[in-house]
Amino acid sequence: MELDQAAELNAADRCRSTDPLAASQPVLADLPEAERRLALVAETARFAAAFLRWTEARAGDGLPYTRLRLLQTLHCDGPAIMRNLGDQLGVSPRNMTAMVDGLEDAGLVVRQPHPTDRRATLVALTPTGLREAEQVMGPRLAALAELFEGFTPAEQEAFSAALRRLGEAMSNRPQGVC
């Protein structure tokens, strides 16, 4: 029985040690390098999930942020190949197809054959999609951007620089290798 209790305690310790910020908020600088990195992974994952929930909760018009960004891209850049849109927006091909399906069902976009590449499909705004983009996009993006109104310009720049650096670090890692 004592061995079972010891195993449970060790498992609990391992779980706590994978998320150093779960129990309390230690100062990152006070943590050993490996724990500091794990803490940053945990904090980033929590933020990413919370940010997605926050943006989705503000989709009162039924257009989640990712679909709004797709409309914005098509509005600003014109028709585009689905694969290129997915790359530009950081969306997997499977999710890109689902997004386009949803917007197509809503009458906001249409798929068109590419004029010179029979393997490619273009996505374009419909007249309804163009009106929706012009009416909804600006106010919705402005409302989301209000999140950063309490940040100083220096804090905004530091946040943006950290996100760019994190994105570069992720793209420099081979896929399938953490």
Tens of pLDDT along the chain (178 residues)?
444 544 444 444 444 445 444 555 668 888 999 999 999 999 999 998 898 888 888 776 667 888 888 998 999 999 999 999 999 988 899 999 999 999 999 999 999 999 998 888 899 999 999 998 888 878 888 888 898 999 999 999 999 999 999 989 988 887 765 5
| Residue limits of CATH 1.10.10.10 in the chain | 59-151
Q: Which long-range contacts (CB under 8 A, 24 or more apart) does 59-66 make?
A: 61/136, 61/140, 62/106, 63/132, 63/136, 63/140, 65/144, 66/91, 66/95, 66/99
pLDDT at 177: 58
123: how many CB neighbours lie within 10 A of its CB? Answer: 23
Tokens 């929930």, residue?
53
When the candidates are 1.10.10.10, 3.40.190.10, 3.40.630.20, 1.20.1070.10, the CATH number that belongs to 59-151 is 1.10.10.10
pLDDT at 25: 61
pLDDT at 148: 93
Task: Name the nearest CA neighbour of 20 among 37, 3, 8.
Answer: 37
Q: How far, in Å, CA of 130 to CA of 105, rounded?
A: 15
Task: Name the nearest CA neighbour of 69 among 83, 86, 53.
Answer: 86
**pTM of the shown model:** 0.63
> What six digits make up the tokens of 29?
């600088």
> What six digits make up the tokens of 39?
């803490």
